Amino acid sequence: MENENIPCWTIDLPVRRRKSREVMVGKLAIGGDNPVRIQSMTNTDTMDTKATVEQCLRLVDVGCELVRITASNVQAAENLYNIKNELSRRGCDVPLVADIHFNPKAAEVAAAIVEKVRINPGNYTDRNTGKYDYTEQEYADELQRTADRLYPLIQVCKKHSTAMRIGINHGSLSERVMGRYGDTPYAMVMAAMEFINICRQMDYNDLVLSMKSSNVKVMHYATRMLAAMMQQEGFDYPIHLGVTEAGNAREGRIKSMTGIGSLLALGIGDTIRVSLTEAPENEIPVARQIREAYSHIGISGRGDVTLKLKPEFRIRRTPVDIASCRQFSLSEHSPEEILYALKNEPVAARIVQGKNKEISTARLAGDSAALIMESAVETLELNDSELTADILQATGERIYKAEFIACPSCGRTKYDIQSALEQVKKRCSHLKGLKIAVMGCIVNGPGEMADAHYGYIGSREGKVHLYRAKQLVCSNVDEKEAVDRLVEMIKQDGKWQEE
Ligand code: SF4
């Protein structure tokens, strides 16, 4: 769905970091002049106090500053109390975040226990019923109903000084919001603005915002548009960054480096999470590499660049003579400097790695992606051609192989998703152009698998549902047979290619 009347904003992209207010999450300050904070999420059963505490401790040991735990129902929310107490008994005071979907009551219970709650406006109160068209009055009534449902949580948060993340996921926008604003980054921003305004009506400002998607471009543009819209409204809430369902191994890491790095490179972002379909502890070293790559932001600025920010993607596809491209080296120029140079002289740019200094993989990925998002790159030539290809694939600029969308799993996952993803990748990586989603649960999996051609989604203990696009094709397949059944389905559809 497209919306013709989407406005266009201008944002002053800060070479220095975007100015945000400081929000306290327990003793941890997010935003302001504080370092970019690193967070992760457990994937244990929240009712298993021992396993969850052990995983929290392992995360803290490697540098995680904030741990999110799913609270899928009131009982799980209540068990956060035991988890918190046990952590404290073991000398760990890491702030905890309760992750809430579909259950306001669980949010209200958790908000009295932990330092922060993450809610998803797409499913906090809205239920999808197939209704997209709302009259002005119906829309206003629904918004009031949402506010009425959110007020009790805000009251608990205010009473206990609990922070809140309004976490938008592209894959779980409500039909109400999509009917009005389209299935667009703009709709993601407007969904967040509705919730911000409800919080502000109650003078509650301990907010952090996020715009996540498995699509790096959607995540990048939605976050920039959020920053622009907040600037316009005079709001300065911190922003959390992450590419959701990034997968595992090298692909998952490069995807996160492009999505998160492309925004940090422009001075946007106060806290980050790298989501990998691996042990959560593996996420932290990658997040630290990304933070390190952009530790200079906020220290050495050279002026502002004003760029038009439109909600649609702007990909220039005019053929150019490479020899006439202006060459920029990432080892000598920051993305801001390159964009500044190109601002008044819209020529095609040839981006090379350069030889003057060592640049980390995270910095190469983030800087390249920031320029790709501005359509400022005609050719990207890094010293490592495999890395160049991976960056282009991660940002959706070129497709060389199959793409895998895989969630990091959480307490809702009841099958071995890590091994399933490995097997699916082993069998299907060569299927160029196919998108396959491997997701942990049917609560969020079908929505979050985005535009994948096939879905492999955990349904219950050891069982998997198989989807063709959004259509459920095989229910509750034993996980031992599910990869073979998926391959059969792809073959039947005539989409199999021999390696
Ligand atoms: S899709 Fe994955 S991460 Fe999201 S709620 Fe389900 S199992 Fe958890």
364 with 342, same domain: the answer is yes
Question: Which range marks the domain in which residue 52 is found?
Answer: 14-293
438 in contact with ligand 1, CB cutoff 6 A: no
CA of 389 from ligand 1 middle (Å) equals: 29
- 445 lies in a domain? yes
CB-CB contact of 392 with 381 (8 Å): no
Cα–Cα dist 175/122, whole Å: 8
CA of 181 from ligand 1 middle (Å) equals: 26
At 199 the pLDDT is: 98
264 with 312, same domain: the answer is no
- 423 lies in a domain? yes
Query: Hey, what's the torsion of the CAs at 94, 95, 97, 98, to 10 degrees?
Result: 80
- Name the domain boundary from 293, 320, 344: 293
418 with 338, same domain: the answer is no
* Entry pTM: 0.93
User: Half-sphere exposure (CA, 13 Å, Cβ side) for 451?
Assistant: 7
167 in contact with ligand 1, CB cutoff 6 A: no
User: How many separate domains does the chain show?
Assistant: 3
Of the candidates 250, 223, 248, 218, which has an alpha carbon nearest to the alpha carbon of residue 238?
223
410 with 382, same domain: the answer is no
Q: How many CB atoms lie within 10 A of CB 401?
A: 17
179 with 76, same domain: the answer is yes
Four-residue CA torsion sign, 81, 82, 85, 91: negative
228 in contact with ligand 1, CB cutoff 6 A: no
How large is the C-alpha radius of gyration of the chain?
22
At 186 the pLDDT is: 92
Residue whose CA is at the smallest distance from ligand 1 atom 5: 444
Residue whose CA is at the smallest distance from ligand 1 atom 3: 409
At 153 the pLDDT is: 98
- Name the domain boundary from 356, 373, 394: 394
Four-residue CA torsion sign, 97, 40, 363, 285: positive
CA of 471 from ligand 1 middle (Å) equals: 19
440 in contact with ligand 1, CB cutoff 6 A: yes
User: E-strand spans in 359-434?
Assistant: 379-381, 403-406
At 306 the pLDDT is: 44
CA distance from start to end of the chain: 36
389 with 407, same domain: the answer is no
- 3 lies in a domain? no
- 300 lies in a domain? no
Q: Residue 421: which CATH number?
A: 3.30.413.10
Cα–Cα dist 402/386, whole Å: 15
- 348 lies in a domain? yes
CA of 295 from ligand 1 middle (Å) equals: 31
135 with 35, same domain: the answer is yes
State which of 443, 459, 463 you would mutate to test the pocket of ligand 1, scoring each by most atoms of that ligand within 8 A of its C-beta.
Answer: 443
Q: What is the pLDDT along the chain (499 residues), one digit of tens a residue?
A: 334 444 444 444 445 788 899 999 999 999 998 999 999 999 999 999 999 999 999 999 999 999 999 999 999 999 999 999 999 999 999 999 999 988 999 999 999 999 999 999 999 987 778 889 999 999 999 999 999 999 999 999 999 999 999 999 999 899 999 999 999 999 999 999 999 999 999 999 999 999 999 999 999 999 999 998 998 899 999 999 999 999 999 999 999 999 999 999 988 999 999 999 999 999 999 999 999 999 888 654 444 444 444 433 344 445 567 777 788 899 988 887 787 777 666 566 888 998 878 899 999 999 999 999 887 788 899 999 999 999 999 999 899 999 999 999 998 999 999 999 999 999 999 999 999 999 999 988 998 887 899 999 999 999 999 999 989 999 999 999 999 999 999 999 999 988 7
| Alpha helix stretches (DSSP H) within 374-416 | 385-394
Q: What's the length of the chain?
A: 499
397 DSSP 8-state letter: S
Residue 164's Cβ-count burial label (10 Å; 0-12, 13-18, 19+) is buried
Pair of tokens at residue 267: 């001075």
Cα–Cα dist 77/71, whole Å: 5
CA of 325 from ligand 1 middle (Å) equals: 44
Of the candidates 219, 101, 216, 214, which has an alpha carbon nearest to the alpha carbon of residue 165?
101
- 499 lies in a domain? no
303: left (phi over 0), alpha (psi -120 to 50) or beta: left
408 in contact with ligand 1, CB cutoff 6 A: yes
142 with 256, same domain: the answer is yes
- 189 lies in a domain? yes
- 383 lies in a domain? yes
193 with 227, same domain: the answer is yes
- Name the domain boundary from 341, 363, 394: 394
127 with 173, same domain: the answer is yes
Residue 13's Cβ-count burial label (10 Å; 0-12, 13-18, 19+) is buried
444 in contact with ligand 1, CB cutoff 6 A: yes
Sequence-distant (6+) residues with CB within 8 A of 498 are none
Place of tokens 């063709």: 468
- Residue type (1 letter), 139: Y
Sequence-distant (6+) residues with CB within 8 A of 9 are 225, 228, 229, 232, 308, 309
Bridge partners of 471, per DSSP, are 468
User: Half-sphere exposure (CA, 13 Å, Cβ side) for 113?
Assistant: 24
Return the SS3 of 426.
Answer: helix
377 with 486, same domain: the answer is no
Query: Hey, what's the torsion of the CAs at 95, 163, 262, 124, to 10 degrees?
Result: 110
154 with 241, same domain: the answer is yes
At 345 the pLDDT is: 60
- What are the Cα distances from residue 487, in Å, to 372, 402, 499? 34, 13, 14
CA of 457 from ligand 1 middle (Å) equals: 10
Cα–Cα dist 496/490, whole Å: 6
